[in-house]
Structure 1
Amino acid sequence: TRLRQIVTNLVENALIHTPKDGSVVVDISGSTGGLEMSVSDTGAGISSTDLPRIFDQFYRTDPSRNRVTGGAGLGLTIVKRLVEAHGGTVTVASRPGEGTTFTVLLPGRQT
């Protein structure tokens, strides 16, 4: 399902950027108003220079990574498009040296 792809992409991205002794935490909560999910890691974080472009298609924060060594640069673009297609939002907060948190908000079904 699309929700599974959103979760998978965010978790895989966090695992790639988190050292072996670091941690990745997924928190999901729901109510009649919708669903809130966050994926947080204790990785290197994202610089303020890279942050505005993090959802751009094919963008990679590490220029040495390419399709062979580190994905196609599409995971976060796909997350954003899927979330927005469901009327939701995805945001990112990051501090270099401390880690990153992606937060997804999806509205509940309207009756």
Structure 2
Amino acid sequence: RHTPPGGRVQMTLRRLDDGGVEVRVRDTGPGISEADLPHVFDRFYRAAPPGQAASAPAGGTGLGLAIVRSIMRLHGGSASAESREGHGATIVLRFPAAGS
């Protein structure tokens, strides 16, 4: 939804030194503003697309990333977001090693 037509969504996986796994999902969309970035995992938070007024948030309910974070925490993992406005966003999921 946040990647324009012709844009890309890329997923990479890597094993961490502690045996866990990191999954990165990166898009070529508009990115997330610095002001919105700390809130993207908050329930019902909907960031306005860059360049638009905060009163015009993107579609959706604002629950998707909040659910992702809850599931990751239930499994002992973590979820974080990285972005440079105008250069896409990356969601980082870190899964613990099996049995840890």
Q: TM-score, normalised by structure 2?
A: 0.83
Q: Which runs of 5+ in 2 are unaligned?
A: 49-54
Of 81, 86, 91, 1:102 maps to 91
Residue 92 (1) aligns with residue 81 (2): yes
Give the number of aligned pairs. Answer: 93
After TM superposition, the runs of 4+ consecutive aligned structure 1 residues lying more than 4 A away are none
> What's the CA shift string for 1:8-49, capped at 9, x where partnerless?
xxxxxxxx1110121100112347712210000010000011
Say whether residues 1:64 and 2:56 are aligned partners: yes
Identity of aligned residues (%): 43
State the alpha-carbon separation in 1 of the partners of residues 61 and 46 from structure 2: 9
Q: TM-score, normalised by structure 1?
A: 0.75
More helix by share: 1
Q: Of the candidates 38, 41, 47, which is equivalent to residue 52 of structure 1? A: 38
Unaligned runs of 5+ in 1: 1-15
2:22 is aligned with 1:36:
yes
